Amino acid sequence: MARKLLLTHIDVPGINTFEVYRQKGGYRAVEKVLKTLTPEDVVEEVKKSGLRGRGGAGFPTGMKWSFLAKPEGVPRYLVCNADESEPGTFKDRYLMTHIPHALIEGMIVSSFALGANTSYIYVRGEMMPQIRILERAITEAKNAGFLGKNILGSGYDLELYVQPGGGAYICGEETALLESLEGKRGNPRIKPPFPAISGLYNCPTVVNNVESIAATVPIINDGGEEYAKIGVERSTGTKLISAGGNLNKPGVYEIELGLPVEEFIYSDEYCGGIANGKYLKAVVGGGSSVPILPANLIMKTLKGESRLMTYESLADGGFQSGTMLGSGGFIAFDEDQCIVKNTWNFTRFYHHESCGQCSPCREGTGWMEKVLHKIEHGQGTFNDIDLLVDVAKKIEGNTICPLGDAAAWPVASAIRHFRDEFEWHVTNGQEAQMRNYGLAHYADPLEPVI
């Protein structure tokens, strides 16, 4: 059995309540930091743990924390990014629903480390039930003396609030999130200045993902070095993976980083193989924004090494033959799925979610959506395929925030790896309306093993 750090007590009845969470050792990390550690010690432990941002970017959390400016007399803020909206990703919803106190405890530990006395959890507006759950958990923690003034007699004060979003994917981008938290449209800000210097209300601010913040709890309890022993190379610790698509057992799994992709898909401990006895065609390994890979390339790198669930291994081969761990949104496509249709669907998503600030993204996503719609409906030409590649290239790197890249990569990678399927839609427009292309030849002849 793999080690679990976040979901250890997921099956314990009532673990969503303060009482049971406390009985199971909850809030020990808060006691430890407030009674025995300085804020610098906490930052040091998180640095030692090697924890990398779990929202998608994978930037080392401890390093991000150490960039926080600390001018005299200016408040500092911690904002938790719970605007989980990346297609394929649903781990934060799961954690907040079932073990809300893991996030609250992590917020207290992290806020103490950063010297924040007011912190916000920005939750996407559609997660109203989770907002209620978190609000209840905050009240429970406050009643038990873990929030408010002079927590556990340490002299440290912390108020924690939940802020609802309004249904905008872009608010998962940290500066758009801060704009939204200030009551504005979610238009990303130009960086620099980075939020660590000038964030919420122009004050130094750290924005961290739900899972990153929750991970500070086991890091403090067991020590950063212990945490760093789990995993491979610079991918330390455990990661929540949201598994969706055509799998026998979709759901949220906590894995030790370094687990082979093949084992994750086919073993009974995890996804249990492809649903309905079908073959695997392709995988989007880290949320809709990361490059899609055909089955053979997700299992093995071009060098023939077994692909592992780590930041490095999934990125092996760059964008030519690799992808990214991203937010851990793992989407499996079976042999009956149409790559062109899915690419069109994802592109429509990005067009819909583009904030409209930068022309390459606002216009480019719209054009890609139109051209893909045309190809999917049997009206495309070979030039259209090249046009898509061209538009994607012109969006990438030319926008204020990474939404442009996130929109361009799925299109570029789908054409890179499944060009024959796009061409088949052009040459066999009528037929493409009636049936799917099926397994790409390079995805065959992988056997469903284990």
Partner 1 sequence: MLNVKHNEPVEFTEEMLGKFAEIVARYPEGRQKSALLPILHEVQAKQGWLSVPAMDKVAEYLQLEPIEVYEVASFYTMFFRQPRGKYVLEICRTGPCCLVGAERIMKHIESKLDVREGEVTPDGQFSWRGVECLAACGYGPVLQIGPEYTFYENLTEEKIDKLINELRNKAEGRALTAES
HSE (CB half, 13 Å, CA atoms) of 237? 30
Q: Which of these, 437, 447, 431, 392, lies nearest to 415 by C-alpha position?
A: 392
Identity of the residue, 250 or 380, whose beta carbon is nearer to partner 1 in the bound complex: 250
Q: Where are the alpha helices (DSSP H) in 301-402?
A: 311-315, 318-321, 339-353, 359-376, 382-395
Residue 85 binds partner 1 (CB under 8 A): yes
Overall residue count recorded for the chain in this entry: 450
Residue 25 binds partner 1 (CB under 8 A): no
Residue 163 binds partner 1 (CB under 8 A): yes
User: Which residue in the set 35, 70, 229, 352 belongs to the binding site for partner 1 (CB under 8 A)?
Assistant: 352
Residue 448 binds partner 1 (CB under 8 A): no
Residue 9 binds partner 1 (CB under 8 A): no
Please check whether residue 427 is in contact with residue 378, taking contact to mean a CB–CB distance below 8 angstroms.
no
Residue 243 binds partner 1 (CB under 8 A): yes
User: Which residue in the set 148, 167, 318, 397 belongs to the binding site for partner 1 (CB under 8 A)?
Assistant: 167
Pair type for strands 280-284 and 329-334 = antiparallel
Helix (H) or strand (E) holding 283: strand 280-284
Residue 435 binds partner 1 (CB under 8 A): no
Residue 125 binds partner 1 (CB under 8 A): yes
For 337, residues 6+ apart whose C-beta sits below 8 A from its C-beta are: 246, 281, 282, 436
In eight-state DSSP terms, residue 352 is H
What is the closest distance, in whole angstroms, from the C-beta atom of residue 159 to partner 1 in the complex? 8
52: tokens are 């990398």
Nearest 5°: the CA angle 231, 235, 237 is: 50
How many residues of this chain interact with partner 1, rule: CB under 8 A? 58
Residue 84 binds partner 1 (CB under 8 A): yes
User: Which residue in the set 183, 192, 277, 445 belongs to the binding site for partner 1 (CB under 8 A)?
Assistant: 183
Residue 89 binds partner 1 (CB under 8 A): yes
For 416, residues 6+ apart whose C-beta sits below 8 A from its C-beta are: 291, 319, 320
Q: Which amino acid is at 10?
A: I
Please check whether residue 230 is in contact with residue 238, taking contact to mean a CB–CB distance below 8 angstroms.
yes
Please check whether residue 410 is in contact with residue 343, taking contact to mean a CB–CB distance below 8 angstroms.
yes
User: Which residue in the set 110, 209, 236, 246 belongs to the binding site for partner 1 (CB under 8 A)?
Assistant: 246
Residue 148 binds partner 1 (CB under 8 A): no
Please check whether residue 89 is in contact with residue 328, taking contact to mean a CB–CB distance below 8 angstroms.
yes
Q: Which of these, 431, 383, 392, 444, lies nearest to 414 by C-alpha position?
A: 392
Identity of the residue, 120 or 227, whose beta carbon is nearer to partner 1 in the bound complex: 120
- What is the rounded CA–CA span in Å between residue 276 and residue 203? 53
Residue 376 binds partner 1 (CB under 8 A): no
Residue 397 binds partner 1 (CB under 8 A): no
What is the closest distance, in whole angstroms, from the C-beta atom of residue 170 to partner 1 in the complex? 9
Residue 312 binds partner 1 (CB under 8 A): no
User: Which residue in the set 61, 235, 242, 301 belongs to the binding site for partner 1 (CB under 8 A)?
Assistant: 242
User: Which residue in the set 2, 74, 128, 302 belongs to the binding site for partner 1 (CB under 8 A)?
Assistant: 128
Surface-to-core class of residue 150, CB atoms within 10 Å of its CB (0-12 exposed, 13-18 middle, 19+ buried): exposed
For 192, residues 6+ apart whose C-beta sits below 8 A from its C-beta are: none
Residue with tokens 């071009």: 302
What is the closest distance, in whole angstroms, from the C-beta atom of residue 62 to partner 1 in the complex? 27
C-alpha distances (whole Å) from 146 to each of 26, 98, 276, 321, 382 are 11, 20, 48, 48, 62
- What is the rounded CA–CA span in Å between residue 191 and residue 425? 41
User: Which residue in the set 92, 316, 396, 421 belongs to the binding site for partner 1 (CB under 8 A)?
Assistant: 92
What is the closest distance, in whole angstroms, from the C-beta atom of residue 60 to partner 1 in the complex? 25
Residue 147 binds partner 1 (CB under 8 A): no
268-297 footprint of partner 1 as x/- string (CB under 8 A)? ----------------x---x---------
User: Which residue in the set 157, 182, 233, 390 belongs to the binding site for partner 1 (CB under 8 A)?
Assistant: 182
Residue 59 binds partner 1 (CB under 8 A): no
Residue 267 binds partner 1 (CB under 8 A): no
Identity of the residue, 161 or 382, whose beta carbon is nearer to partner 1 in the bound complex: 161
User: Which residue in the set 60, 223, 251, 402 belongs to the binding site for partner 1 (CB under 8 A)?
Assistant: 251
Residue 149 binds partner 1 (CB under 8 A): no
Residue 252 binds partner 1 (CB under 8 A): yes
Partnered with residue 348 across adjacent β-strands are none
150: tokens are 């002079």
87: tokens are 């297609």
Residue 87 binds partner 1 (CB under 8 A): yes
| Interface contacts to partner 1, rule CB under 8 A | 75, 84-90, 92-93, 118, 120, 124-129, 159, 161, 163-169, 180-186, 201, 242-246, 250-252, 284, 288, 329, 331, 333-334, 337, 341-342, 345-346, 349, 352-353, 355
